[in-house]
Amino acid sequence: MRKWTAELYKLIFTHIVLIGIPTIFFYCLRRGGWSLTGIHMSIATFYVISSIVLIVEATVSSFRRYATREAVPKSSWEKGFDRLKQKLGVGGARLPEPSVPVPKCSFLVAAYLPNEQDIILDTLKHLLEQVEIPAGGLEVILAYNTPIDLPVEDDLERLAERQPNLKLLRVEGSRSKAENLNAALDEVTGEIVCVLDADHHPAADCFRRAWRWLDRGYDVVQGRNIIRNHRQNLLTENIAIEFEMIYGVCHPAKSFLTDTSIFGGSNGYWRTSVLKRIRFNPTMLTEDIDASMRTLLNGYRILHDRSIVTTELAPADLRSFWFQRKRWAQGWLEVSLKYQRRIWKSSQFTFLQKAYWTYLLYFAELYTLVAIQIIPISLSELLFHGFIPQSHNHYLWFSSVIAIFSGLYQTVIAAKIASRRYPLYYFLQHAALIYLFVALKNSIAIVGFYDHIKGNTSWLITPRSRQTGRSKLRDREAALTTGGRH
């Protein structure tokens, strides 16, 4: 409770600084005879750029399926037609079968058991019983840390006795997911390794789909994450649609357009040799994005394939959501400051890739701080005039219209290509709440910036619970039985 109160104080303080002080400054400019139109138009430009990117991404992702295509034209007419299709991205391409069978694969599951002890058995059972075993074989490694001995560890031992493909690795002294993963990399024997969080349940054909790309020369394939507990409440319903936008629209479009992507922390399929070279940095708040940057800077290739689906659990309350998104925002800022200049100087990126990563790193971080300045501008006009005068500037009207349209358009496209058939009201509800939802995330990000400036890198683990109402004992017993899907 004390931490939550501290977050509220930081929220108030940061918004006083970012809204109150600029309001006074803009008001003084107005009193001095200055017009705020130029400043307003500069801020509006941020809205326009972001909106255009969202519209382009949504449009591209609605047509295309894969980041590359393989055309085998048979006549000059077909060559021209295929070139046109390739430019438009209509229909994508079906990849040929891999040249060799899927080699031995490994699931690497990272867990913090006091937090995830209620779900870990279900996850392991799903991986061992529901996922197709590749031709080369399958191993599942659970790398976990816990400050105390737990009853669930006995259940894990019994499961490992029955499932020889399961390896248990308790990482003593670990304080992070990165340390758990690094320790497990020394035990991995598969040629392909899929990194998973403890709440993820991937689709049965995940390795077969990922191997199509790895066999063609890619080094990392990121799949699509969707929300399993979306029915829980209003928050989880909106996060479910948000994830469809992130993993179904934005990430695939970046991969389609620039042939680059990110590893998102889970449901990522790596060449084991590459991951053992890259490893994870336990000092970074978002070790996945940090690993993505080092992977790309070292000349390796990352692709996003939204047909490789896994389900996960969304934060079910505002407190959990707050601390999760604050860590994400602070982690992205940390990565931006560390790697942006190296990306500009690197010969491993094309010009388009550099532009896209600049948008993801610097522009997206600045956008949160700049976008909020529309509030002090409006407040200063209210103080100066006694009302907010109506603008006759066509560009400002255009920026407002395109900003509203882009969010709604992206929601419509997400509904079109959603990985599962959510109720229609989910999308209507999200369209109605999208700007409040974005404002909430921006406010959280601002507090994350404040924490970064203050050097506060501590964060709370996102609670994981099955929320089924059954006792923990029955949970463990159910997870140890055979048969049935979860």
Task: Please tell me the pTM assigned to this model.
Answer: 0.88
Supply the pLDDT for residue 65: 67
Of 233, 244, 143, which Cα lies nearest the Cα of 197?
Answer: 143
Taking the chain (486 residues) in runs of 10, the rounded mean pLDDT of each run is 87 95 95 93 95 95 65 63 60 66 97 93 97 97 95 96 96 94 96 97 96 94 96 96 96 92 96 98 95 97 94 95 95 95 95 93 91 94 90 91 95 92 94 95 96 86 58 34 32
**What one-character DSSP code corresponds to residue 306?**
E
Phi, psi dihedrals of residue 176, rounded to the nearest 5°: -155, 160
- Provide the pLDDT for residue 192: 98
Cα–Cα distances (Å) from 422 to 228, 240, 250, 315, in that order, read 11, 9, 19, 18
The first and second tokens of residue 201, run together, are: 């349940």
User: What was the pLDDT predicted at 94?
Assistant: 57
Q: How far apart are CA 365 and CA 357, in angstroms?
A: 12
What pLDDT is stored for residue 480 in this prediction? 31
pLDDT for the residue numbered 183: 97
Q: What is the DSSP letter of 199?
A: T
Give the model's pLDDT for residue 97. 73
Rounded Cα distance, 96 and 437, in Å: 41
Phi, psi dihedrals of residue 227, rounded to the nearest 5°: -95, 125
The predicted pLDDT at position 470 comes to: 37
What pLDDT sits at residue 468?
38
CA 135 to chain centre: 30
- For 323, phi then psi, to 5°, come to -70, -30
Residue linked to tokens 């931490």: 3
Q: Look-up: residue for tokens 């930081």?
A: 10
- Count of positions (residues) in the chain: 486
Ordered by where they begin, the domains of the chain are: 1-486 (3.90.550.10)
